[in-house]
A = this chain, B = another copy of it.
Amino acid sequence: MSSFADRSVPDVDDEAEAFDADMIERHLAHLDTDRWVVEDGWLVGTFPFDDFADALAFTNAVGELAEEAWHHPDIHLSWGEVGIEVRTHELEGLWEADFVLAAKIDQLYDADDG
């Protein structure tokens, strides 16, 4: 399990800057890249489940995490799959908060699985 997931999700402050392509690439390495890709400036994760109930439970877990971190992804719940889209609206891009949140979501999913 990545220690990256144990960081706090930082708040956007005056020093926060959207990552460039190189920084994005380096931070992606902290995530499960079978699940996460960068698409149109969003960090997009796909999480398979056996049924709707498990997908709904994961949606709740991610929702609670988002409320705690005060960083809210879009969540797409369907039968057997949850899609997550992360981005920092204030920066119109991706930065540390997005990758830490994604790493925490990986950790949640792996804990459920295990």
Residues of chain A at interface, number, CB under 8 A: 15
Partner among B56, B63, B74, B77 whose Cβ is within 8 Å of the Cβ of A74: B77
Are A76 and B79 interface neighbours, CB within 8 A?
Answer: no
Q: Does A53 contact B (CB under 8 A)?
A: yes
- Determine the chain B residues whose CB is within 8 A of the CB of A78 once the complex forms: 72, 74-75
In addition to A59-B75, A75-B77, 11 A-B residue pairs with Cβ atoms within 8 Å of each other are A52-B63, A52-B67, A52-B72, A56-B60, A59-B63, A60-B60, A72-B78, A74-B77, A74-B78, A75-B76, A76-B76
| Contacting residues, chain B, for A63 (C-beta < 8 A) | 52, 56, 59, 77
Task: Determine the residue in chain B with the shortest Cβ distance to A79.
Answer: B72
